[in-house]
Amino acid sequence: RQDSDLIVRSLRLARETAVSRSCAVTVRWKSVKDDDGEYRMVIDMLAAPGIYSDGTDAFGAQANPGSSTWMVDPIALHPDVNVKANASSIQFTPTGTASRDLQMKVSRDSESVEVFVQASSGNIYKDAT
């Protein structure tokens, strides 16, 4: 449950950032090899400054409009977490909508939680199974 909460908080942060900074924020999840040689799922975000930005990206760092950079230190989930989704990324727009409907199943041991994003509204919610 802790990992699904982290995913939901990350998605909500991305949506709120897109709306408050009038930019597009992309969230992706991917499997990477850590320093111990284990594979684990990470959450990675990219916030591209809008063309009318004040010269900073969505998180305050200096950036040129139109440039973009993925996180230096992505958010790592527990090594035993398994994430299955109908897409490998989602983008939130300045209006709060999402680029697609998202259905994600986050599993660890015998517990699984489904996370959903509705494209038309940008609503983010989860359902434990």
Residues 56-110: tens digit of each pLDDT: 555 555 555 555 567 777 899 999 999 999 999 999 999 999 999 999 999 998 8
Predicted structure pTM score: 0.83
Largest CA distance in the chain: 48
Residues 26-42: tens digit of each pLDDT: 999 999 998 888 899 99
Domains defined along the chain, listed by start: 2-128 (3.55.40.10)
pLDDT-based confidence at residue 14 (cuts at 50, 70, 90): very high
Report the alpha-carbon distance of residue 66 to residue 89 in Å, rounded. 19
Torsion over CA of 17, 12, 117 and 56, rounded to 10 degrees?
20
Provide the sign of the torsion angle of the four alpha carbons 84, 89, 94, 97, taken in this order.
Answer: negative
Report the alpha-carbon distance of residue 58 to residue 24 in Å, rounded. 9
pLDDT-based confidence at residue 128 (cuts at 50, 70, 90): low
Instruction: Using CB atoms within 10 Å of the CB of residue 11, give its burial: 0 to 12 exposed, 13 to 18 middle, 19+ buried.
Output: buried
Contact of 93 with 51, CB cutoff 8 Å:
no
Structure token digits, residue 43:
């959450």
Residues in the chain: 129
